[in-house]
Amino acid sequence: MRKSIIKKGEKYNNLTAIGFNYRDKKGRQCWLFRCDCGNKKVIDVSAVKSGHTKSCGCLHKEKASIQGKKNKTHGMIKTKEYKVWDSIKQRCLNKNHKAYKNYGGRGIKVCKSWLKFENFFKDMGKRPKGLTIDRIDNNGNYEPKNCRWATMKEQSNNTRNNIFISINGVQTSFNELAGIFGIKYTTLRYRLSVGWSLEKALTI
Per-residue pLDDT tens digits for 64-90? 655 655 555 667 888 999 999 999 999
Task: Say yes or no to pLDDT of 167 above 70.
Answer: no
Task: Say yes or no to pLDDT of 148 above 80.
Answer: yes
Which of 23, 45, 73 corresponds to the end of one domain? 73
The structural domain count of the chain equals 3
Q: How distant, in Å, are the alpha carbons of 85, 99, 112, 135, 159 from that of 106?
A: 19, 11, 18, 15, 15
| 157/155 Cα distance (integer angstroms) | 5
144 or 167, higher pLDDT: 144
Question: Is the domain of 58 the same as that of 2?
Answer: yes
Per-residue model confidence (pLDDT) at position 176: 67
Question: Average pLDDT, stretch 173-190?
Answer: 74
Per-residue pLDDT tens digits for 12-53? 998 898 887 677 777 788 888 989 888 888 888 888 888 888
Question: Is the domain of 54 the same as that of 113?
Answer: no
Question: Is the domain of 53 the same as that of 107?
Answer: no
Question: Is the domain of 80 the same as that of 152?
Answer: yes
Which of 73, 96, 126 corresponds to the end of one domain? 73
For the chain, give the mean pLDDT: 80
The enclosing H or E element of 185 equals: helix 185-193
Which of 56, 73, 90 corresponds to the end of one domain? 73
Domain of 46?
Answer: 1-73
What's the N-to-C CA distance of the chain in angstroms? 90
Per-residue model confidence (pLDDT) at position 116: 93
Question: Is the domain of 85 the same as that of 122?
Answer: yes
Question: Is the domain of 152 the same as that of 83?
Answer: yes
CA angle 22/2/26 to nearest 5° reads 50
Which of 44, 59, 57, 48 shows the shortest CA–CA distance to 16? 48
Per-residue model confidence (pLDDT) at position 1: 44
Question: Average pLDDT, stretch 118-126?
Answer: 94
DSSP 20-84: EEEE-TT--EEEEEEETTS-EEEEEHHHHHHTS--SSSHHHHHHHHHHHHHHHHHS-TTSHHHHH
Which of 2, 1, 11, 7 shows the shortest CA–CA distance to 20? 7
| 144/167 Cα distance (integer angstroms) | 30
Question: Is the domain of 20 the same as that of 66?
Answer: yes
Contact 193, 202 (CB under 8 A): no
